[in-house]
Amino acid sequence: MSKPEHHYYVYIVASRSHILYIGITDNIQRRVEQHRNAELPGFTATYHCNRLVFLEAYQYVQNAIAREKQLKRWRRSKKVWLIELSNPTWADLSEAWTEKPQVPPLRFAPVGMTNVGQERKRS
């Protein structure tokens, strides 16, 4: 029997003013929700870093940890370059995970109908 496959993620969350935080997790959706809801006290809650702007997946935790450490050593300009390679508009990559259902479009009654199911009175 083989081991279940694990995934580890190196991610960058940013504030609207582009303050950056780099982290690692094995559950990216849960971690983004924690950042979004300021459930983790500290840097990300203080500076409102809650928009996922960069994400990489790894099979082995050692590789993810090494990449996180590498990115944390980079200058800010190089981190911005990395983000903008795949996400030039700094869009929140997790938006699709948390989108609220769209309200269906309004339907209007046909012209000449005053109440649904009633015919228009003739004069």
- Looking up residue 91, the CATH number of its domain turns out to be 3.40.1440.10
Does residue 119 lie within any of the structural domains? no
Does residue 108 lie within any of the structural domains? no
pLDDT band at 6 (very low <50, low <70, confident <90, very high): confident
pLDDT tens-digit map of 53-103:
999 999 999 999 999 999 999 999 999 999 999 999 999 999 887 655 555
What type of residue sits at position 16?
A: R
Q: Which domain, by its residues, includes 92?
A: 8-98
Does residue 3 lie within any of the structural domains? no
**Using an 8 Å Cβ cutoff, are 53 and 13 in contact?**
yes
What's the number of domains the chain is made of?
Answer: 1
Does residue 2 lie within any of the structural domains? no
**pLDDT value for 99:** 59
**pLDDT value for 96:** 81
**pLDDT value for 97:** 76
CA 43 – CA 40 distance, rounded (Å)? 9
Does residue 116 lie within any of the structural domains? no
pTM: 0.76
Tokens coding 68 = 């996180």
115: Cα within 13 Å, side-chain hemisphere: 3
Does residue 44 lie within any of the structural domains? yes
